[in-house]
Amino acid sequence: MTGRRKRGTARPAHRLDSESGIALLIALLVILSLTAFSLGLVLFTQSESRLSNTIAAQSQAYYAAVAGLEEARGRLNPLAADAIVTLVPTQINQVLYLVNSSSQDPVNPTSASSSYYDYEYVQEFAGGFGAAQVTSVASDQPGAGTSYVIPYKWVRITLKTEYASQTDVNQDGILNSTTPINWNGTNQDLAANMPSGLPVYMLTALAVEPNLIRKMVQAEVVGTPPLVPAGGVATAGSATLTGLSASSYTSPNLTLNGNDYCGGPKNLPGIAAGSTITTSGLNNILPAGSAVQNLLPFPQMVPSIIQSTVPQAVPILYADPTHVTLASGGGSLVGTNVVLGQLPGPSGPGQPAVVYADRSLAISGSTSTGYGILLVNGNLSITGGINYQGVIVSNGTVTLTLNSTGSIQILGSLISSGNLSTDSSASPSTSLSLTYDSCVVADTFQSLPLGVRSFKELSF
């Protein structure tokens, strides 16, 4: 039959070639698509890996710079074994560097040819390094000089100025570049307007990772101004002072002395109370007739003092775990012959401790000692003997009771938000003495780590 191909007859060769070509083209397109997809996936994976590595390096550089700030802040504490307080700037043009250098990687922040040149200083201080007095000390971090070193290169310590910080502190429309900034515990101002304030330091740190990723951070740090209590003993409530019976004895063994033992320019009342002061028996309040009662509003805000100081304090159960325990039921703390800091003496300047009791505290025994700051968020009871130098702050009532085992001697200041009760009537052979000392108060607050007032990352 004409026009019909018989079954089993081969297709024309040109048609087979056409179909084979199409199949080959499709196969090539599929292969190209798979190749492109695979190549894209590889490139994407590599890009993600590079991005991840970059983010990790940036994070490492950032925290390395922060570690540099923390080393500097720690060494600004006069009690630190590696303290640098004798080298800190006292004038605007003075600069102190902590340098993390090695023979393989020398660091010179003041040389424009150095890879670690401090460009930021030139922007913050007029005249740059040409007008600067530069001092450098080596970093003493645990890994210094090894392959494990934290890779910050330097930390710069300078006094804060309005121009350097780009902050118009006194709101006069001028960024002063010649006068440092001081802090009084509440506000900042030009040192000329606040001569009794503490200097504010600017700490600037540069860190560089091996892949040359850099981070620069800056913090403003300042010390804690010492308290100026209302009296050698200051209590926001009432005070009850009980001494030896006048019918049996002629000399008092109870003394509240507001005359500055340090010889400072300002003596305080022996006691200042927000309510009434009641006395019985023999007592010795100095200066004579200086007791102040019904002092309202009472100037010392005990909760605020405790709140601002607690971050630098050690819990009392850690400060002296041998002699301090929780009372039965856990509602209060008890201590016997406690040791809360090392008293200064012939063998050395002492080691103050900032100690915090988060609940009421009762101290007994005959040989308790302490030096520093004791913060009690509750009532404080001391029975027996204690020799304490520093500042005691109680957010509650304070009860001081003599017995024959020892004397109560507190040199510095005692502040309470509640009532105060002292009783020396039962022990004529011992004494109860609270004496104001402005130097002890200042020294104990100076032992606190410098607080961070501001922090930022710098772009460069």
Task: Report the percentage of the chain scoring pLDDT > 90.
Answer: 73
User: Tokens 């104001």 correspond to what residue?
Assistant: 436
> In this predicted model, which residue has the larger pLDDT, 130 or 43?
130
The predicted structure's pLDDT at residue 217: 97
Distance CA 410, CA 422 (A): 13
Distance CA 455, CA 265 (A): 37
- pLDDT, tens only, 268-293: 999 999 999 999 999 999 999 999 99
The predicted structure's pLDDT at residue 52: 62
Stretch 93-104: mean pLDDT: 92
Beta bridge pairs of residue 251: none
In sequence order, what are the residues at sequence separation of 6 or more whose Cβ sits closer than 8 angstroms to the Cβ of residue 24? none
C-beta separation of 416 from 236 below 8 A: yes
Residue 272 burial by Cβ neighbours in a 10 Å radius (0-12, 13-18, 19+): buried
This prediction's pTM: 0.77
Please report the DSSP string for 126-193 in residue order.
Answer: TTGGGG-EEEEEE---TTTTSTT---EEEEEEEE--HHHHT--TT-SS---SSS-EEE-SS-EEETTT
Q: How far are the Cα atoms of 238, 299, 460 from residue 272, in angstroms, in the given order? A: 9, 10, 55
Give the H/E segment covering residue 187.
none
Record the tokens describing residue 257, joined without a space: 């002395």
Stretch 1-16: mean pLDDT: 52
C-beta separation of 393 from 412 below 8 A: no
Distance CA 116, CA 120 (A): 11
- pLDDT, tens only, 73-90: 999 988 788 999 999 999
C-beta separation of 440 from 232 below 8 A: no
- pLDDT, tens only, 340-382: 999 998 888 889 999 999 999 999 999 999 999 999 999 999 9
> In this predicted model, which residue has the larger pLDDT, 308 or 343?
343
Distance CA 427, CA 281 (A): 13
pLDDT at 401 over 80: yes
Distance CA 347, CA 434 (A): 24
The predicted structure's pLDDT at residue 449: 87
The predicted structure's pLDDT at residue 262: 94
Record the tokens describing residue 110, joined without a space: 């003041």
- pLDDT, tens only, 35-56: 777 777 777 666 656 656 667 8
Q: What is the mean pLDDT of the chain?
A: 90
Distance CA 425, CA 111 (A): 71
Q: Which of 413, 373, 414, 372 is nearest to 397 (CA)?
A: 414
